[in-house]
Chain A
């Protein structure tokens, strides 16, 4: 028992517990950024300017039909190479060799991201940043899809009334459409949140030292670096992760159902009407 207490508080285990924080941090950063991307995508898809509309529609369509994990694997390398290439263009204009040489991707030294002289934590942060950006791009496309649908679900008469009052297109959008669309978007967005939670273990595939990584490392008898004095315990570590995710799902469900009640307040929907009657 004492051995177990000691074992569960080793430095490596502290890193394991901290990695739960990594997952929550990812959720906390990705959700708003993806929502922002989604909002931008939905706005672009509604735009009267044709190229912008095509971009918006293309963005929402591109992520459907293809496994998301392929996108995750693709974007991490593609974004990394994209950034390095841009810096390469900006920082070393007189470099004359091609960037792709056979199986290698070569940029000049000062264009490397992060710089090869940078400390370890910069590398880790950069990896995490790439992961967040990838998640935000993929989930932004989903969110754009949901928000686009929600914008179209707002009853037409509401907008016509706004126009009758002489509001401009922009005013109608920000003062009438946006405040009302959230209740229509909420079922889709809460679904998306659940999916985002369940997508977080994929961080492991993107090379971030997350909970799956530590569960594998700590559970095994012999790992890359250490040898542990216990048999194969990965099963128990993964059980713990399972419980963690189930708990996260349960909590989210409770929070989202409260949010639904909150957002229904004063809306021209059945739930909003029921609240009004109950109050009156």
Chain B
């Protein structure tokens, strides 16, 4: 199935320009990388039984040793991102575990959410990311106000978005938005990052 999965940015990435200078705002498409979500009564307990640590409160994220990011979006809602540079597929394992365990009924364990298909996933990297984001997002994303481990569920350029400052990933932000709005988001980010000499990194150049 993975062979035919397509990022909504795929067509654009094929024609993407190479950012002019390294160190500027670079946008990486991680949409093809695994992610999942769980929500509903029992989710926290169930997920805690599967991973080493969970964020202690909503709008916080933790990074596991293999690079997996677990974001807590609500009391009983989580977003899980496979490590960007990791071969492990915790999301796939979690989905499979949930499917097999839920078949047996019994304890409440929340419900899976199709995050790999509902949301595109970008990682925006560079020293001036927060400056660039200030053009399209009303949340103060500077280090002082939005330190590593913080999550903002907000609006970016008029569409709903989840922003995550990954612990250990300095100068970068995860941006997850509506899968169907990818083309619009491309235009927005390409425009916003141009001022900082950046843009989308062509596929395969992560």
Partners in one complex: no
Where the two chains meet, the residues of A that have a C-beta atom closer than 8 Å to any C-beta of B are none
